[in-house]
Copies of this chain bind each other. A is one copy, B any other.
Amino acid sequence: MRAQVFVRLKPGVLDVQGKAIERGLAENDFSAITNIRVGKLIEFDVAATNADKAHQIVESVCQKLLANTIIENYEIKLG
């Protein structure tokens, strides 16, 4: 089963990559684009007997390895 995990900085946490992109956009006349946030997209295969079990494994790996839950939120998509 293919899993997607989206890791985003929590609202209010300074996004330095986002700010850098905003500066780049301003220099390239893309004023239509605002409020940029940069996160991570992590995709992988999960071997599990059913979707519930797969979700449990992915949840555990997010907590332990993929996200820093002090400053980041994560979202899981299976399918």
Contact = CB atoms under 8 A, between A and B. Distances in A.
Interface of A: 3, 6-8, 21, 24-25, 28, 30, 32-48, 57-58, 60-61, 64-66
A42 B24 CA distance: 14
Given A21-B66, A25-B65, A34 B44 contact: yes
Nearest to A58: B33
A40 B42 contact: no
B40 A44 contact: no
A6 B40 CA distance: 9
A44 B39 contact: no
B61 A48 contact: no
A47 B65 contact: no
B41 A39 contact: yes
